């Protein structure tokens, strides 16, 4: 079987023929000459309609999917058309390329699929191509996906912030968290009122007004935009965000106290206790349990903060908003007497957002809880994979690519 036969089977285009295939001089790649079929007119790249020929440009090389360890290039001399409809001389449109890039569409889709499983760097290495080309491939596929995705009705959204670089650089991520669809809808720079409003500009007022649930953390700019854009929706402070905040406060207490003990030359009892304290007690291994029991004997602020944090977990066991509210009041009152400032700060903020927290219990049966946390974890894994290239554009593309569930461009063949 000849290579041309295979190409005609998997990558055939009306109006073009594969002429012949040969090895390059160094025998490392296969080059396939492509020419227009006789009598078929070139297509104007502006209006996508056939137009009379004008002249020819230099030959271009389009990178195709590698075969048996050989790089494969399609060689084609682009024509220019004199398009009367557009009133210009334009380069023709070729069905295997996107007009900008040197990779064929088939190869871009192939690389982009691998770039979802591997890091971009690993993908480039595995297929002997460059990181920039993998970037191009993902950009091509994501751009197509965003242009062709169907938003439809959105019942529930979750908004989340994620830190992506040192120096407080944040992204705002908006997820759809309907019971049957969970996907990333939007990525924005920063975590400001302006950035979150950008999401609502994309979906439009019509869809926004139909949103029934919104999950968020206690970040004030988000709360403000939600009040403004989704005033009808039930706004819920997500459990995951509250737990995360609590852990942060506890960590602050521990770090402060640990420093104080060290500066006073005391016994460093808090050394290496960080993960011990942040883990839920039921998730500790036996020896860790002994260590924590040992730690609890000391009269430390950290210990008291830890006990408060553990006691707070009971909140999530309630199903009635009224009982949950009563528990919350009691817990906050106790904390306000504790003289542990980071914990008091949490209690004040919980009091302030009491109704939004209780909405969690009002909506419990209707939302799959933990979904925002799951998506947040996936987003973090995606960001780790693109480590080293933390520009906004790269992160935006890789996040949409991994979590957006975007439609993919059609392919002439399933190149698995």
d(CA 338, CA 331): 11
Give the dihedral of Cα atoms 233, 235, 238, 244; nearest 10 deg: 140
Decide whether 88 or 207 has the Cβ nearer to Zn ion.
Answer: 88
**Minimum gap (Å) between residue 92 Cβ and Zn ion:** 10
Name residue 30's beta-bridge partners: 23, 72
Q: Would you give the DSSP letter of residue 272? A: T
* Residue with smaller CB distance to Zn ion, 57 or 151: 57
Cβ distance to Zn ion smaller for residue 52 or 370: 52
Q: What is the closest distance, in whole angstroms, from the C-beta atom of residue 42 to Zn ion in the complex?
A: 10
**Contact positions vs Zn ion (CB under 5 A):** 44, 46-47, 83, 85-86
Q: C-beta of 86: minimal distance to Zn ion in Å? A: 3
DSSP 165-233: ETTTEEEEEEEEE-SS-EEEEEEEESSSHHHHHHHHHHHHHHHHHT--EEEE-S-HHHHHHHHHH-TTS
Smallest gap from Cβ 36 to Zn ion, in A, equals 17
**Left if phi > 0, otherwise alpha if psi is -120 to 50, otherwise beta: which for 193?**
alpha
Provide the minimum distance between the beta carbon of 397 and Zn ion in the complex, in angstroms, as a whole number.
30
Choice between 51 and 74, CB closer to Zn ion: 51
Residue 278 burial (CB < 10 Å; 0-12/13-18/19+)? middle
Q: Are 162 and 383 in contact (CB under 8 A)?
A: yes
At 78, which helix (H) or strand (E)?
A: strand 70-83
Helix axes 392-403, 131-148, angle to 10 degrees: 60
C-alpha torsion 257→262→266→270, nearest 10:
50
CB of 97 to Zn ion, least distance (A): 17
Residue 54 backbone phi and psi in degrees, to 5? -120, -65
Which one, of 185, 252, 193, 180, lies nearest residue 220 by Cα? 193
Kindly state the smallest distance separating residue 90's Cβ from Zn ion, in Å: 6
If the CB atoms of residues 44 and 372 are measured against Zn ion, the closer one turns out to be: 44
Tokens (6 digits) for 313: 């977990």
| Residue with Cβ nearer Zn ion (86 or 162) | 86
CB of 198: closest distance to Zn ion in angstroms?
34
Looking at residue 103, the DSSP 8-state letter turns out to be: B
State the minimum distance, in angstroms, from the CB of residue 362 to Zn ion.
57
Nearest CB to Zn ion, comparing residues 84 and 248: 84
- For residue 191, CA distances in Å to 88, 173, 198, 207, 352 come to 44, 9, 11, 22, 21
Backbone angles phi, psi at 86, to 5 degrees: -85, -20
């Amino acid at each position: 079987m000849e290579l041309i036969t295979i190409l005609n089977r998997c990558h055939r285009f009306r109006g073009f023929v594969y002429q012949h295939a040969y090895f390059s001089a160094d025998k490392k790649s296969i080059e396939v000459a492509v020419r227009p079929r006789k009598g078929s007119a070139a297509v104007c790249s502006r209006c996508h309609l056939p137009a009379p020929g004008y002249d020819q440009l230099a030959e271009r090389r389009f990178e195709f999917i590698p075969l048996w360890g050989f790089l494969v290039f399609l060689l084609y001399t682009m024509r220019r058309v004199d398009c009367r409809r557009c009133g210009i001389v334009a380069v023709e449109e070729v069905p295997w390329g996107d007009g900008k890039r040197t990779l064929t569409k088939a190869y871009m889709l192939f690389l982009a699929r691998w770039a979802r499983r591997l890091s971009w760097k690993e993908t480039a290495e595995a297929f002997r191509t460059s990181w920039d080309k993998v970037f191009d491939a993902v950009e091509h596929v994501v751009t197509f996906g965003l242009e062709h995705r169907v938003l439809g009705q959105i019942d529930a959204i979750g908004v989340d912030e994620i830190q992506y670089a040192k120096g407080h650089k944040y992204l705002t991520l908006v997820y759809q968290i309907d019971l049957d669809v969970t996907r990333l809808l939007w990525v924005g720079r920063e975590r400001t009122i302006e950035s979150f409003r950008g999401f609502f500009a994309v979906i439009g007022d019509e869809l926004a007004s139909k949103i029934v649930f919104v999950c968020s953390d206690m970040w004030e700019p988000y709360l403000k935009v939600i009040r403004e854009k989704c005033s009808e929706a039930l706004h819920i402070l997500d459990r995951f965000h509250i737990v995360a905040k609590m852990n942060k406060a506890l960590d602050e207490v521990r770090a402060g106290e640990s420093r104080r003990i060290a500066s006073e030359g005391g016994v460093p009892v808090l050394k290496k206790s960080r993960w011990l304290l942040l883990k839920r007690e039921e998730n500790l291994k036996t020896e860790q349990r002994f260590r924590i029991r040992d730690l609890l004997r000391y009269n430390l602020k950290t210990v008291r903060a830890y006990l408060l944090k553990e006691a707070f977990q009971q909140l999530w066991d309630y199903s009635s908003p009224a009982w949950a509210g009563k528990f919350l009041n009691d817990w906050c009152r106790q904390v306000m007497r504790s003289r542990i400032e980071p914990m008091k700060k949490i209690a004040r903020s919980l009091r302030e957002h009491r109704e939004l927290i209780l909405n969690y219990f009002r909506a419990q049966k209707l939302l799959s809880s933990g979904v925002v946390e799951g998506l947040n974890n996936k987003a973090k894994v995606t960001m780790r994979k693109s480590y080293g290239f933390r520009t906004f554009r790269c992160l935006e593309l890789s996040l949409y690519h991994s979590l957006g569930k975007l439609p993919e461009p059609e392919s002439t063949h399933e190149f698995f």
